[in-house]
Structure 1
Amino acid sequence: MSEIPPIPPERRRGRAAATNRTNRFERFVTEAVDDGWEREEALPPLRTEVTEERPRSAVTRNSSPDVGFDRSVNPYRGCEHGCIYCFARPSHAYLGLSPGLDFETKLIARPDIPEVLARDLSRKGYRPAVLAIGTNTDPYQPVERDRGIMRRVLEVLREFRHPVSVVTKGALIERDVDILSEMAGMGLARVGISVTTLDPATARAMEPRVPGPARRLRAIRVLSEAGVPVRVMASPVVPALTDHELEAILAAGAGAGAVAASAIVLRLPREVAGLFRDWVEEAYPDRAARIMSRVRELHGGRDYDPAFGQRKTGQGEWARLLRMRFEVALRRTGLSEEMTPLRTDLFRVPPRAGDQLSLF
């Protein structure tokens, strides 16, 4: 286990991280110690806290060759789903918070994002391209049920006729099937649903506050029947833990109506590596060494190799065999690796009150 003592299980029930590891920018490490004074009461369980942020811009740009988009929107920072492997955890460090339990419990909502997005899209010279949502933290995590920020974002995109690609594990996406269906009918929307495992116990351990696998498959069905193109995402593939389920996940996704599939191997950037090691040693002590050995085999002997072109696929014989299995599974299920491109030619800046209307 880590040199950092884990927080008692009773305080972190329903959470994946075992510690609140100090982020990489801090000079000092804080640690709770027994000062010799007896305490009569136990510390309370960790609760989810939500604060608000007023962003100056909504659209985040990236130039990574490993992703199929150059812009995204994040309605929230942090994610209560608490997936232990989440590659977005290190982003909490920029806020002076821990990528560990802080990431799961100290959330930042961005309620003005829809209005700021409308302003960004209205700027002179803006050129539309697919806007990705859910690529950092999940827009349909539990807090969205009360906040409704994601729905308002979709309303803005519908008004502008702007293409959007949504990735989520949250069944709450079914609430917005009316907007997504309308946009999909115009070739403006598609969805990716992440199904990491079909085993409820494994899912509960890795993703403690995510709807179970069966519930996510139901969301695929609901969206598909409403005419929304859905990709089933077997990501991340955790070697020696979930890799044997790859074919079954794709078959289940196809059976629920998905039209495409993808699979990305586990990657553990920055603080995620230590958090994941702590978790796997506690949750699966009998196979922890084997899992981490396979992870390092995939990434050139390290917990993570950030090199473009191989960080999402891994390297070596095991990665090659996984790719072959994926391709065979695609053929058997009839799923595609690619989805129909979304349209950008319908984009328009809607008229506002007081605007002069066009004569044509």
Structure 2
Amino acid sequence: MVTMQHFDLPRKLQQLGGFTNSIIVKYFEEYANLLYQRFGDRVKYWITINQPAEFCVQSYGSSNHAPGINAHGIGEYLCAHNALKSHAVAYRLYKSKYYNLFKGHVGISLNSPFFYSDTNDMVTVDRALQFSLGWVAHPIFSSKGGYPSVMFDQIAKNSEKEGRLRSRLPEFSADWIEKIRGSADFLGLNYYTSRYVEISIEPIGDNPSIVRDKSYKEVIKPVWVKSASEWLYSFPQGLGDILKWIKNEYNNPDVIITENGWSDKGELEDDGRIAYFHDHLQQVSNAISNDGCNVKAYTAWSLIDNFEWSSGYTEKFGLYFVNMSSPRRERIPKKSTRFIKELITTCVIPEIH
């Protein structure tokens, strides 16, 4: 399995505007064509883009990640719009030119928490899911195509209040809706954590911004176990619930869990990571066995400790510790490698004590 694009772009393309410039769609198609030509005989699973909603918000709607454009309320929507088009042309190219040669599969990886409400406010829960996962999933996996109606209506309403002549959310032509709809053989899911949501009466976030368009606040429960990352709390039930939501919302597509992992400070006795894997794998097993979800594979994030974007090397997600103080950068197996090895060998979730 190979991912074509994971967050940042070559500098020359970024100087043209990156994913806010529609020219990126043609460049992405040419790039995908080259990859298919060179590696198609060996790669059977392609992920076009990893977490487009995440990098579009963090890179184009804020300054959290490179290139830090921070055109909030506009940049993130332009970015996701062109990312969806880029994904679709790469998918259609493979199907028309390479599928008969290589018989591979092309999908996209999306990230999202699951959301809950203390007051059983399912309208706000659905809004949160549509603004998070549905933003990119609905155009590809829904029977109707296009953006979720709650996003379309809310952003148009806010844009009108701001005195704009048209919505800040770009609109797909009928032709593009059809090109994007159904343009995936599988849904790659990156799941880490969940949140509770509550509607916000007063406007929140920058004006304009996706935070203000959402109009809800995300809440963390103090009883949840916290990782070494500020945003990551363990809530395994959320993985089972989001798998069931995907099944019901998108007619049970094939799902590959492409990321699921836990950060710490690099301990070799990483019992917290083992507990996280155990509990989340149990949710996956239940979703398959009890709920009929079409989960085809599970990937632990990650093989080794790696560079975590703006957090650098301060947060460790790896099954293998990397000795950054040594010029040889030795890889040292953590306790969790034994858990994963037993899982792979036996195809049974190991018991933990």
TM-score tier after normalising by the smaller chain length: 0.3 to 0.5
Give the TM-score normalised by structure 1: 0.34
Higher relative contact order (CA 8 A, sep 6+): 1
Higher helix share: 2
Q: Which has the larger radius of gyration?
A: 1
